[in-house]
């Protein structure tokens, strides 16, 4: 994902298999928020943009206050940015 689908497009990537929790679990987004807040002072959940091609994962991210967006193609992501 880092090097193929979205190479050089985002500042950071949080991969569920690396974090050990799936994106349908709010804990995933708690980890993301805490990690980013440690690096970026004053960051709020709504400052984070999240893209996924599964609507339920987008809804979970939204429930955590994240700016989450559903996409169906890489081109859509590029257009939304």
For residue 43, the domain's CATH number is: 3.40.50.1000
- Has residue 4 been placed in a domain? no
Report the percent of the chain where pLDDT is more than 90. Answer: 59
> Is position 1 within any domain?
no
In a domain? residue 6? no
Q: How confident is the model at residue 74 (pLDDT cuts 50, 70, 90)?
A: confident
Are the beta carbons of 77 and 13 closer than 8 angstroms? no
Q: What is the pTM of this model?
A: 0.80
Assess if residue 64 is contained within a domain: yes
Domain for residue 54, yes or no? yes
Q: Could you list the residue range(s) of the whole structural domain that residue 48 is in?
A: 16-80
Q: Is the pLDDT of residue 40 over 80?
A: yes
Count of domains in the chain? 1
Describe the chain by its helix, strand, coil percentages, rounded to 5.
45, 10, 45
Q: Is residue 58 part of a domain?
A: yes
């Amino acid at each position: 994902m880092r090097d193929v689908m979205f190479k050089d497009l985002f500042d950071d990537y949080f991969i569920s298999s690396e974090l050990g929790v799936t994106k349908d679990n709010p804990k995933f987004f708690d980890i993301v928020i805490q990690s980013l807040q440690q690096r970026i002072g004053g960051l709020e959940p709504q400052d984070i943009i999240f893209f996924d091609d599964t609507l339920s994962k987008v809804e979970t991210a939204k429930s955590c206050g994240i700016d989450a967006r559903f996409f169906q193609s890489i081109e859509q992501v590029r257009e939304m940015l």
